[in-house]
């Protein structure tokens, strides 16, 4: 399976989904014009990955900012991965990284941890 890689821009995050390691990185700012279209290939990639996932899969999320439509798209992404986790095909964890003074990003990670059936590890980063 091909990896899915996008370079980050001022409006879109760096994305590096590695099928061989099971590490799925999203990092930077997420304020694309159309978040649904931007995240659709990632959701499709996860649907394909579900066919033969690694025993352990890690979402490494380190966003400095994301808009409301990106929040919904991330939720859809996590819900797609949740099916793999709940079925026991891969032990999935979300590592939600946030800067120690960014309470909004911390709260966003905590909110995801309440609404998805994937463990979310909150990781505070010193700035």
92-107 residue pLDDT tens: 999 999 999 999 999 9
Mean pLDDT over 32-56 rounds to: 97
The rounded percent of the chain whose pLDDT value lies above 90 is 99
pLDDT score recorded for residue 127 = 83
What rounded mean pLDDT belongs to the chain? 97
Closest CA to 48 of 5, 1, 118, 89: 1
pLDDT (tens digit per residue) in 82-95: 999 999 999 999 99
Radius of gyration of the chain (CA): 14
pLDDT (tens digit per residue) in 5-42: 999 999 999 999 999 999 999 999 999 999 999 999 99
Name the burial class of residue 127, with classes exposed (0-12), middle (13-18) and buried (19+) by CB atoms within 10 angstroms of its CB: exposed
- Nearest-5° angle of CA 105, CA 89, CA 55? 75
Distance CA 45, CA 104 (A): 29
Q: pTM above 0.75?
A: yes
The CATH architecture annotation of domain 4-125 reads 2-Layer Sandwich (3.30)
Asked whether the beta carbons of 84 and 53 are under 8 A apart, the reply is yes
**If DSSP states are collapsed to H, E and C, what string results for the chain?**
CCCEEECCCCCCCEEEEECCCCEEEEEEEECCCCHHHHHHHHHHHHHHHCCCCCCEEEEEEEEEEECHHHHHHHHHHHHHHHHHHHCCCCEEEEEEEEECCCHHHHHHHHHHHHHCCCCEEEEEECC
């Amino acid at each position: 399976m091909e990896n899915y890689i996008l370079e980050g821009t001022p409006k879109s995050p760096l994305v590096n989904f590695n099928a061989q390691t099971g590490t799925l990185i999203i990092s930077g700012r997420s304020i694309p014009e159309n978040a649904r279209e931007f995240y659709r290939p990632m959701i499709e990639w996860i649907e394909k990955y579900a066919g033969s996932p690694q025993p352990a899969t890690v979402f490494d999320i380190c966003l400095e900012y994301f808009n409301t439509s990106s929040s919904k798209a991330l939720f859809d992404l996590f819900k797609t991965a949740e099916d793999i986790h709940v079925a026991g095909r891969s032990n999935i964890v979300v590592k939600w990284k946030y800067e120690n003074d960014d309470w909004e990003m911390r709260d966003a990670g905590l909110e995801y941890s309440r609404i998805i059936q994937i463990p979310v590890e909150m990781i505070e980063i010193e700035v």
